[in-house]
A = this chain, B = another copy of it.
Amino acid sequence: MPQIESTMKKVYKDATDAVADINDGAVLMLGGFGLCGIPENCIAALVAKAVKDLTCISNNAGVDDFGIGLMLQQKQVKKMVSSYVGENEEFERQMLSGELEVELIPQGTLATRCMAAGYGMPAIFTPAGIGTEVAAGKEVRNFKGKDYLLEEAFDADFAIVKAWKGDTEGNLIYRATARNFNPMMAMAGKITIAEVEELVPAGSLDPDMIHTPGIFVHRIFEGKNYEKRIEQRTVRKK
């Protein structure tokens, strides 16, 4: 076998370039937990692009002036699919007025429905929500004496994730708890867009230490000016 030097054409110039074909009505997955590990550059580009009627699958909805909150302010979001949508007044206003549709999903179910898509599994079974309103209309099935809900894999047009480092083949490494939903979403997107703090040449990352293999990533670019806002700054004294 000859030496194969792969130079996949995945590298995009910037966020504007990477989200250029995301159009009104798209279904997006957006990585992050709270404001930790969110794709800041892509969100800014989507706000600038003023694309509308988006469905956003994301664990949270940002805060009023950061994260997905910025898209909510511009009324770009038709529907949020999340597990927790606390800290956001504009979100609350739009939800109560009926402008915004909200589907609340247990966090583990959210994660696992993303995972199912990435693994090519059409549905998974989870006990989360059994006996609650989350189970309404869903199939319940008993395995070995325990009830489980059948939950279908998500079907998103684009997955937009944030990683710490990435290479030109699309391989990704996340940092600390900024990993969260990003790896499953990266695997799940029909088109996956990854923004990274540092983009390095293929071969720079240890193949044993890659969290998301490049096959799942279709577009990658080095983001800039990361704010990485902290939601709850808690410290102890020396």
How distant is the Cα of A175 from the Cα of B88 in the complex, in angstroms?
44
Q: Which residue of B lies closest to A209 (CB)?
A: B209
A164 to chain B, nearest CB (A): 8
Instruction: Pick from A67-75, A140-148, A224-232 the stretch touching chain B.
Output: A140-148
How distant is the Cα of A18 from the Cα of B170 in the complex, in angstroms?
40
A152 in contact (CB, < 8 A): yes
Within the complex, which residue of B123, B127, B207, B209 is in contact with A125, where a contact is CB–CB below 8 Å?
B123
How distant is the Cα of A124 from the Cα of B208 in the complex, in angstroms?
27
A175 touches B125 (CB 8 A): no
A86 in contact (CB, < 8 A): no
A198 to chain B, nearest CB (A): 14
A176 in contact (CB, < 8 A): yes
A126 in contact (CB, < 8 A): yes
Within the complex, which residue of B121, B148, B173, B209 is in contact with A126, where a contact is CB–CB below 8 Å?
B121
B124 touches A144 (CB 8 A): no
In residues 57-80 of chain A, which contact B (Cβ within 8 Å)? Answer: none
Residues of B within 8 A of A174 (CB): 208
In residues 152-189 of chain A, which contact B (Cβ within 8 Å)? Answer: 152, 173-176, 179
A197 to chain B, nearest CB (A): 14
Residues of B within 8 A of A146 (CB): 122
A68 to chain B, nearest CB (A): 25
Between A and B, 15 residue pairs with Cβ closer than 8 Å are A1-B236, A112-B121, A120-B126, A120-B127, A121-B124, A121-B125, A121-B126, A122-B148, A124-B124, A143-B152, A173-B208, A174-B208, A175-B208, A179-B208, A208-B209
